[in-house]
């Protein structure tokens, strides 16, 4: 009885399934077809032998990873950077979007939007290059400004291990806040203008309208993005960290991805990198599932 | 009266903060522009540059002489346009389908998509699959490869869930309007903001993508701009010791050459994509009046 | 047709004349055959069709071997090659394969030792290798196989001394001092540079007396340890973490000399005599400082490669410092082996390896052929004197946009050419290429202080398992030591820190690492 009912409901939605089909097919070909590669984490993989020809080593690579002396240190470094980025970097684009959205002069609004979005296009190499030059204790103008604002005269920011997480996170926020706010701006554009008009009639101030009209409109988007950010807590991209790394800050700047990169650079450790990647993403995925469940209970918004 | 007063304070604070932000954001961009017409020695000193120092157009001259840049532009345009059209269509349809709560197995499909954000087979198996499909070294693959992004689908779905009210669909149903008609005639016009976002996300990801072209293209005449940009940036920071095949004097010469054109190439290769934004902007500055549609 | 025949005849006689060993002489009469060869494309190369190069034209005529080149830009090489190893093997790789790739994909590369493939088809190559002290062992894996052939030069004198310290003579004159000869004098000179307006621009505060840089290949911090008898065989810091003396591998970073060096370096940094940004700056920033006229002393290949001729003339070479106890050393290796042992690799996909080997042997058949392969046609970038020595020349066709470097990488393969023995090395004359000549002249002053041959580790392939054992140790060890050096130089060091350091070294397996090399030296694996 129930089965028949389901079939009926499915038939009713045939158009929706047709809509879904292209995406499902593309994902099948581009993601699921090569998925067998996950197996190399349990092998001694060699490209020439392939998955079928390489020998099996069980959990050897996972053990190698857990047993390395610096394991906890690099996990800690990774988490420090990603949690800091999440806490500082998540609310700022939201606030920026709300601020831009409530500017009345539309020219100024457009200019702010365009300008804040531009740093996203500066490649990381250039960005880190600028950071080191601007912060040079000898001639960097940013150093001079900070000294003027009361920082010690000979502060050496790029060489200071304590400054590293701050530099990493805030340069990232600088670069991406405008870009990340776009999605919220789009959600704010979906806000029914008649709600604003009605609130105005009721005598609500701008702040009140932001609080009662704008924010509720973007909360679902925020929750979805937050769930996804929590689900990538173990992943800190290697490129920027690697470029910012030097002999002085290596105790705090060695993260999982840079470690994998270095091991891979010396010799092709496919299996080892695959195992570390699998470990990372396993944790990420578990976190995602948990956060998703919590969010479903608390707010009703969830990924599935 | 009180409302107007507090609103005024709000506006002043808001505009002041945004203006400061504007300067912080704009300076590094301006710096790149100034750097592209300055002598690299001054650029790297870290001093505050307000005007070009050691003015020279050599960097731009070299860039414009390089035919690879123009071939790269042409290819990038093909990939961006193709990718955007395909990507927006697929993502919108999938996002719409997944936003309908009545869809059976909705959760399953979400899981199907989200799983791939976390688990993948790695580069070599991916390459093997593409090779079996005879897609390596083709422009078709370059268009297909990043068209579907799970992140975009989720964002689209969540947008539609919140902006397309259930009642609207119910009302349409009562009028005997099928899902197809509803999607193309009502949902699409209401979703200009998210479509603008998708076009932006896709255009930018295609514009900047160098890794896939590098792996899958062997024919250099199909190379996109980003790949050339990357080659130049890499040479600018080449270290003689890391390149076995290069003697130190030659490596240095290469590095100096690359430094001269570096900022010029960056300007030439990013300006067009930055200019896309103002065209899309109008779609999310003004809100859409859903109320009027309902009425 | 007729012309082709004569050319073949000519080349045949050339092969015979130069080879001596005779061996397999191939004629163009053999069937033409085509091979796919993936090749490293250097950014300096202006012509991607390698078949336009004289050497390959001649080789095709003589051996009937046609090459279909697959150029791979050096920036993409690693990823692309690994994909090729997994899916589309070409017939051979030129300049793209490293030791690790062979170790991990042994079966992808043809064993040239089997059925005496190499000996029958490439007699010239074999006779060149046999001139080495360890003969063919240099390319032989522990299992007895030969998976690659060599490219480049056996030795390159100019490379032996790595980075050389130069000091600004104009600055010295301005402060009225001489070129320093030991660390105390060096300190005094740096102090004078710092305190006075050494560059004479009216600002006494913009001078950076001494500028090493971790982002530059030859200016790294361990160069500064040379006066204490600590020197690597190459310019990487890591190579100076151990040294070989009398057949024993000894540690350097746990010695009192090392501590003295750290204290000295700290003194320089804390008094502003050595730039602390040496640890953080990018290579671009570093080169800008050198060109800004604010640096008094630095390590380099040659000032003529860094700046204009008029500026470069102001710099003089600093001799090796004497610490009074005869400890002095110079980073670098005497007679350093500089060929690439994995330059040319034939893969298991190749159906006629004998023909491909004959083609490679033809390119190695005489000094003329080798140099044609290296630098292009005879009489342009190189020539042979009456006495048989090779000499480098400057071709006429150069312009501002097409320099000598472009020429060498466009008309020849430079480092990817066939193996050139020490005896065949080209001479560089002052009037032909001053920059190269000047570099060689500078190396001459320091050469005897570089690590002598008997204290260098032998070069051979080892079991991939053993290599991977070492690599895992190194990622942690090197990261610890480089961090220790940097923080000690910046913040100073005391007894407590030093003791802590010694116990940390145990924790990061320093002794195991040294032991690995000892066993390698003793041929235990």
In-domain check, residue A43: no
In-domain check, residue A12: no
pLDDT of res. B40: 79
Helical (H) or strand (E) element with A51: helix A50-53
Residue A64: CB partners within 8 Å, gap ≥ 6? A272, A275, C472
Say yes or no to pLDDT of C28 above 70: no
In-domain check, residue B3: no
A16 interfacial to chain B (CB closer than 8 Å): yes
* Residue B38 pLDDT grade (very low, low, confident, very high; cuts 50, 70, 90): confident
Task: Report CB contact under 8 Å: C43, B245.
Answer: no
In-domain check, residue B174: yes
Region A199-212 average pLDDT: 88
Q: What is the DSSP letter of B186?
A: I
Task: Report CB contact under 8 Å: A34, B10.
Answer: no
Which tokens in the block code for residue A42? 């349990």
Q: Which residues in chain B have Cβ-Cβ distances shorter than 8 Å to A192?
A: 287, 289-291
Note whether C363 and C373 are within 8 A (CB).
Answer: yes
Region A157-173 average pLDDT: 93
Between CA A164 and CA B134 the distance in angstroms is 46
Say yes or no to pLDDT of A267 above 70: no
pLDDT in tens, C193-208: 999 999 888 888 889 9
Say yes or no to pLDDT of B239 above 60: no
More confident position, A214 or B283: A214
A2 interfacial to chain B (CB closer than 8 Å): no
Task: Report CB contact under 8 Å: A156, C471.
Answer: no
* Residue C126 pLDDT grade (very low, low, confident, very high; cuts 50, 70, 90): very high
Say yes or no to pLDDT of A250 above 70: yes
Nearest residue to C418 (alpha-carbon basis) of C365, C370, C381: C370
Domain containing residue B258: CATH number: 1.10.3720.10
Say yes or no to pLDDT of A265 above 80: no
Region B53-60 average pLDDT: 83
**Domain extent at residue A205:** 59-298
Task: Report CB contact under 8 Å: A19, B10.
Answer: no
- Put simply, the chain B residues between 137 and 176 with a CB less than 8 A from any chain A CB are 144-145, 147-148, 150-151, 153-155, 158-159, 161-163
More confident position, C118 or B283: C118
- Whose structure tokens read 């522990």? C142
Q: Chains near A, with 3+ CB pairs < 8 A? A: B, C
A44 interfacial to chain C (CB closer than 8 Å): no
Say yes or no to pLDDT of B19 above 60: yes
pLDDT of res. A70: 85
CB-count burial class (<10 Å; 0-12, 13-18, 19+) for C174: middle
Report the DSSP beta bridge partners of residue C295: C208
- Whose structure tokens read 């903060």? B17
Task: Report CB contact under 8 Å: C285, A136.
Answer: yes
Looking at the complex, report in whole angstroms how far the Cα of residue C432 sits from the nearest Cα belonging to chain A. Answer: 38
CB-count burial class (<10 Å; 0-12, 13-18, 19+) for B234: middle
In-domain check, residue B145: yes
pLDDT in tens, B183-231: 998 888 888 888 999 999 999 999 999 999 999 998 888 999 998 888 7
For residue A45, the chain C residue with the least C-alpha distance is C104
Cα dist from B150 to A263, A296, B91, B124, B199, whole Å = 30, 20, 9, 21, 15
Task: Report CB contact under 8 Å: A137, C471.
Answer: no
Task: Report CB contact under 8 Å: A247, C471.
Answer: no
pLDDT of res. B81: 96
More confident position, C96 or A192: C96
* Residue C173 pLDDT grade (very low, low, confident, very high; cuts 50, 70, 90): very high
Q: How many domains does chain A have?
A: 1
pLDDT > 90: percent of chain A: 50
Between CA C235 and CA C293 the distance in angstroms is 25
Q: Which residues in chain C have Cβ-Cβ distances shorter than 8 Å to B223?
A: none
pLDDT of res. B237: 65
Angle, in degrees to the nearest 10, between helices B225-236 and B67-99? 120
Q: How many domains does chain B have?
A: 1
Size of interface A-B (CB pairs under 8 A): 277
Task: Report CB contact under 8 Å: C279, A247.
Answer: yes
Nearest residue to A18 (alpha-carbon basis) of B109, B106, B97: B97
In-domain check, residue A46: no
* Residue A47 pLDDT grade (very low, low, confident, very high; cuts 50, 70, 90): confident
Report the DSSP beta bridge partners of residue C164: C300
pLDDT of res. B2: 58
Q: Which residues in chain A have Cβ-Cβ distances shorter than 8 Å to B160?
A: none
pLDDT > 90: percent of chain C: 68
For residue C79, the chain B residue with the least C-alpha distance is B215
Give residue C135's region: left, alpha or beta (phi > 0; psi -120 to 50): left
Say yes or no to pLDDT of B134 above 70: yes
Region A133-162 average pLDDT: 86
Cα dist from B137 to B104, B140, B157, B210, C77, whole Å = 39, 9, 33, 14, 16
Say yes or no to pLDDT of A238 above 60: yes
In-domain check, residue B10: no
**Do β-strands C208-210 and C295-300 pair in parallel, antiparallel, or remain unpaired?**
parallel
Say yes or no to pLDDT of C59 above 60: yes
pLDDT of res. B294: 36
Between CA C334 and CA C332 the distance in angstroms is 7
Region C26-55 average pLDDT: 85
What does pTM read for this prediction?
0.89
Say yes or no to pLDDT of B41 above 80: no
Between CA C439 and CA C433 the distance in angstroms is 10
Q: Is the dihedral angle over the CA atoms C427, C431, C436, C437 positive or is it negative?
A: positive
* Residue in A47, A70, A251 nearest the CB of C85: A47
In-domain check, residue A181: yes
Which tokens in the block code for residue C4? 């082709």
Can you give the length of chain C in residues? 525
For residue B122, the chain A residue with the least C-alpha distance is A37
Say yes or no to pLDDT of A269 above 60: yes
Domain containing residue A77: CATH number: 1.10.3720.10
Q: Which residues in chain A have Cβ-Cβ distances shorter than 8 Å to C290?
A: none
Between CA A276 and CA A266 the distance in angstroms is 16
More confident position, B173 or A24: A24
A15 interfacial to chain B (CB closer than 8 Å): yes
In-domain check, residue A92: yes
Task: Report CB contact under 8 Å: B22, A206.
Answer: no
Say yes or no to pLDDT of B291 above 60: no
Note whether B288 and B192 are within 8 A (CB).
Answer: yes
Looking at the complex, report in whole angstroms how far the Cα of residue B215 sits from the nearest Cα belonging to chain A. Answer: 15
* Residue B52 pLDDT grade (very low, low, confident, very high; cuts 50, 70, 90): confident
* Residue B166 pLDDT grade (very low, low, confident, very high; cuts 50, 70, 90): confident
In-domain check, residue B4: no
Helices (H), chain B: 2-36, 40-43, 58-65, 67-99, 106-118, 123-132, 139-144, 150-163, 166-174, 179-182, 188-190, 192-208, 211-216, 225-236, 248-285, 290-294
In-domain check, residue B5: no
Residue C207: CB partners within 8 Å, gap ≥ 6? C171, C193, C194, C197, C198, C199, C294, C296
Largest CA distance in chain B: 78
Say yes or no to pLDDT of B21 above 80: yes
Nearest residue to C338 (alpha-carbon basis) of C159, C136, C520: C159
Region A226-255 average pLDDT: 91
Which range of A156-160, C100-104, C303-307, C510-514 scores highest in mean pLDDT? It is C510-514
Q: Which residues in chain C have Cβ-Cβ distances shorter than 8 Å to B123?
A: 79, 83
Region B251-274 average pLDDT: 83
CB-count burial class (<10 Å; 0-12, 13-18, 19+) for A153: exposed
Q: Which residues in chain B have Cβ-Cβ distances shorter than 8 Å to C413?
A: none
CB-count burial class (<10 Å; 0-12, 13-18, 19+) for C356: buried
* Residue in A64, A69, A138 nearest the CB of C507: A69
Q: Chains near B, with 3+ CB pairs < 8 A? A: A, C
Can you give the length of chain B in residues? 295
Between CA C450 and CA C161 the distance in angstroms is 7
Region C288-316 average pLDDT: 91
Region C224-243 average pLDDT: 93
- Within 13 Å of residue B13, how many CA atoms lie on the same side as its CB? 9
pLDDT of res. C326: 67
In-domain check, residue B217: yes
Task: Report CB contact under 8 Å: A48, C105.
Answer: yes
Q: What is the DSSP string of C62-130?
A: HH-EEEEEEEEETTTHHHHHHHHHHS---SEEES---HHHHHHTGGGB--TTGGGHHHHH-HHHHHHHH
CB-count burial class (<10 Å; 0-12, 13-18, 19+) for A298: exposed
- Put simply, the chain A residues between 60 and 99 with a CB less than 8 A from any chain B CB are 96, 99
Nearest residue to C226 (alpha-carbon basis) of C331, C310, C365: C331
Say yes or no to pLDDT of C9 above 50: no
Say yes or no to pLDDT of C331 above 50: yes
pLDDT of res. B43: 80
User: How many of the other CB atoms lie within 10 Å of CB of C309?
Assistant: 10
More confident position, B288 or B295: B288
User: What SS3 class is residue C237?
Assistant: coil
* Residue C324 pLDDT grade (very low, low, confident, very high; cuts 50, 70, 90): low
pLDDT of res. C202: 86
Residue B54: CB partners within 8 Å, gap ≥ 6? B38, B39, B41, B42
pLDDT of res. B246: 58
Say yes or no to pLDDT of C2 above 50: no
In-domain check, residue B33: no
Using a CB–CB cut-off of 8 Å, the residues of C that contact A are 82-83, 85-86, 89, 100-101, 103-108, 208, 214, 275-277, 279-282, 284-285, 467-468, 471-472, 474-476, 479, 482-483, 485-487, 490, 507-508
pLDDT of res. C8: 45
Q: Which residues in chain A have Cβ-Cβ distances shorter than 8 Å to C282?
A: 128-129, 132-133
pLDDT of res. A162: 92
For residue B127, the chain A residue with the least C-alpha distance is A34
Note whether A52 and A137 are within 8 A (CB).
Answer: no
Region C389-415 average pLDDT: 89
Task: Report CB contact under 8 Å: B274, A40.
Answer: no
Note whether C98 and C147 are within 8 A (CB).
Answer: no
* Residue in A99, A108, A192 nearest the CB of B290: A192
**Do β-strands C242-245 and A55-56 pair in parallel, antiparallel, or remain unpaired?**
unpaired
**Domain extent at residue B248:** 58-289
């Amino acid at each position: 009885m129930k089965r028949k009912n389901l079939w009926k409901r499915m038939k009713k939605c045939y158009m929706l399934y047709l809509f879904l089909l292209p995406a499902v097919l593309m994902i099948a070909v581009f993601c699921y077809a090569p998925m067998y590669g996950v197996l190399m984490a349990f092998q001694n993989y060699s490209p020439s032998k392939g998955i079928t020809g390489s020998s099996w080593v069980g959990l050897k690579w996972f053990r190698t990873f857990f047993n390395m002396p610096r394991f906890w240190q690099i996990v800690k470094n990774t988490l420090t950077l990603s949690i800091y980025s999440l806490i500082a970097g998540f609310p700022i684009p939201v606030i920026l979007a709300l601020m831009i959205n409530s500017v009345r002069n539309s020219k100024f609004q457009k200019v702010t939007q365009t300008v804040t979005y531009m740093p996203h296009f500066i490649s990381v190499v250039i960005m880190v290059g600028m950071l080191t030059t601007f912060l040079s204790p000898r001639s960097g103008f940013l150093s001079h400004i900070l000294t003027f604002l009361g920082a010690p005269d000979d502060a050496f920011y790029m060489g200071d291990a304590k400054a590293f997480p701050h530099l990493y996170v805030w340069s990232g926020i600088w670069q991406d806040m405008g870009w990340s706010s776009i999605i919220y701006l789009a959600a704010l554009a979906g806000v029914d203008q008649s709600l604003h008009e009605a609130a105005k009639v009721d005598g609500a101030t701008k702040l009140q309208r932001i609080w009662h009209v704008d924010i509720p409109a973007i909360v679902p988007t925020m929750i979805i993005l937050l769930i996804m950010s929590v689900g990538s807590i173990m992943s800190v991209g290697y490129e920027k960290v690697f470029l910012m790394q030097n002999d002085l800050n290596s105790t705090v700047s060695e993260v999982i991805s840079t470690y994998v990169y270095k091991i891979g650079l010396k010799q092709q450790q496919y299996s080892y990198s695959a195992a570390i990647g699998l470990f990372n993403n396993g944790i990420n995925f578990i976190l995602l599932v948990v956060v998703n469940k919590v969010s479903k209970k608390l707010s009703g918004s969830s990924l599935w | 009266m009180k409302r107007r007063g507090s609103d005024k304070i709000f506006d002043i604070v808001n505009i002041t903060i945004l203006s400061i932000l504007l300067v912080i954001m704009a300076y590094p961009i301006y710096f790149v522009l100034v750097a592209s017409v300055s002598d690299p020695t001054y650029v790297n000193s870290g001093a505050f540059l307000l005007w070009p120092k050691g003015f020279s157009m050599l960097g731009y001259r070299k860039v414009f002489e390089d035919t690879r840049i123009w071939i790269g532009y042409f290819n990038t345009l093909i990939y961006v346009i193709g990718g955007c059209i395909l990507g927006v269509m697929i993502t919108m349809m999938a996002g719409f389908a997944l936003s309908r709560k009545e869809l059976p197995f909705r959760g399953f499909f979400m899981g199907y998509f989200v799983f791939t954000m976390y688990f993948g087979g790695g580069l070599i198996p991916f390459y093997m699959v593409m090779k079996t499909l005879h897609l390596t070294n083709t422009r078709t693959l370059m268009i297909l490869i990043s068209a579907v992004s799970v992140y975009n689908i989720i964002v689209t779905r969540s947008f539609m869930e919140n902006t397309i009210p259930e009642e609207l669909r119910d009302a349409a149903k009562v009028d005997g309007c099928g899902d197809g008609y509803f999607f193309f005639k009502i949902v699409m016009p209401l979703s200009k903001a998210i479509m603008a976002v998708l076009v932006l996300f896709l255009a930018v990801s295609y514009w900047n993508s160098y890794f896939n072209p590098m792996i899958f293209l062997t024919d250099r005449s199909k190379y996109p701009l980003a790949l050339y940009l990357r080659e130049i940036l890499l040479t600018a920071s080449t270290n003689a010791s890391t390149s076995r095949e290069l003697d130190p004097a030659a490596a240095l010469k290469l590095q100096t050459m690359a430094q001269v054109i570096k900022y010029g190439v960056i300007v030439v290769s990013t300006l067009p994509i930055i200019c896309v934004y103002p065209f899309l902007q109008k779609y999310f500055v003004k809100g859409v009046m859903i109320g009027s549609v309902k009425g | 047709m007729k012309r082709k025949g004569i050319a073949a005849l000519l080349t045949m006689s050339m092969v015979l004349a130069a080879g001596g060993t005779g061996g397999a002489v191939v004629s163009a009469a053999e069937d033409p055959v085509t091979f796919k060869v993936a090749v490293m494309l250097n950014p300096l190369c202006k012509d991607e069709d390698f078949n336009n190069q004289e050497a390959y034209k001649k080789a095709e005529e003589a051996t009937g071997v046609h090459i279909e080149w697959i150029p791979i830009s050096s920036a993409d090489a690693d990823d692309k090659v690994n994909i090729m190893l997994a899916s589309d093997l070409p017939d051979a790789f030129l300049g793209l394969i490293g030791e690790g790739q062979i170790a991990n994909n042994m079966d992808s590369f043809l064993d040239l030792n089997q059925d005496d493939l190499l000996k029958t088809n490439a007699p010239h190559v074999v006779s060149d290798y046999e001139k080495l002290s360890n003969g063919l062992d240099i390319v032989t894996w522990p299992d007895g196989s030969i998976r690659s052939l060599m490219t480049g030069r056996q030795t390159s004198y100019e490379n032996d001394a790595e980075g050389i310290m130069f000091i600004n003579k104009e600055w010295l004159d301005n402060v009225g001092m001489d070129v320093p000869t030991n660390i105390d004098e060096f300190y005094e000179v740096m102090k004078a540079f710092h305190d006075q307006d050494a560059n004479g621009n009216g600002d006494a505060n913009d001078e950076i007396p001494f500028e090493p840089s971790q982002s530059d290949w030859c200016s790294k911090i361990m160069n500064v340890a040379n006066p204490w008898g600590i020197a690597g065989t190459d310019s990487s810091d890591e190579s100076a973490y151990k040294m070989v003396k009398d057949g024993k591998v000894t540690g350097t970073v746990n010695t009192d000399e090392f501590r003295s060096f750290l204290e000295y370096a700290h003194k320089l940094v804390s008094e502003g005599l050595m730039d602390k940004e040496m640890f953080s700056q990018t290579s671009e920033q570093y080169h800008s400082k050198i060109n800004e006229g604010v640096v008094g002393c630095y390590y380099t290949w040659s000032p003529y490669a860094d700046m204009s001729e008029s500026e470069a003339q102001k710099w003089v070479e600093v001799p090796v410092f004497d610490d009074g106890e005869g400890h002095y050393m110079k980073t670098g290796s005497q007679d350093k082996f500089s060929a690439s042992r994995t330059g040319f690799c034939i893969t298991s996909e190749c159906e006629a390896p004998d023909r491909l080997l004959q083609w490679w042997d033809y390119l190695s058949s005489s000094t003329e052929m080798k140099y044609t392969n290296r630098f292009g046609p005879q009489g342009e970038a190189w020539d042979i004197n009456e006495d048989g020595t090779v000499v480098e020349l400057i071709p006429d066709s150069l312009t501002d946009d097409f320099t000598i470097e472009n020429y060498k990488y466009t008309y020849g393969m430079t480092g990817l050419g066939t193996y050139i023995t020490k005896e065949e090395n080209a001479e560089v004359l002052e009037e032909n290429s001053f920059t190269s000549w000047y570099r060689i002249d500078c190396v001459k002053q320091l050469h005897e202080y570089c690590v002598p041959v008997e204290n260098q580790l032998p070069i051979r392939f080892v079991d991939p398992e053993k290599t991977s054992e070492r690599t895992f140790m190194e990622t942690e060890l090197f990261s610890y030591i480089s961090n220790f050096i940097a923080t000690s130089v910046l913040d100073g060091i005391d007894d407590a820190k030093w003791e802590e350091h010694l116990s940390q070294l145990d924790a990061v397996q320093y002794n195991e690492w040294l032991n690995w090399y000892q066993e390698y030296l003793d041929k235990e694996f």
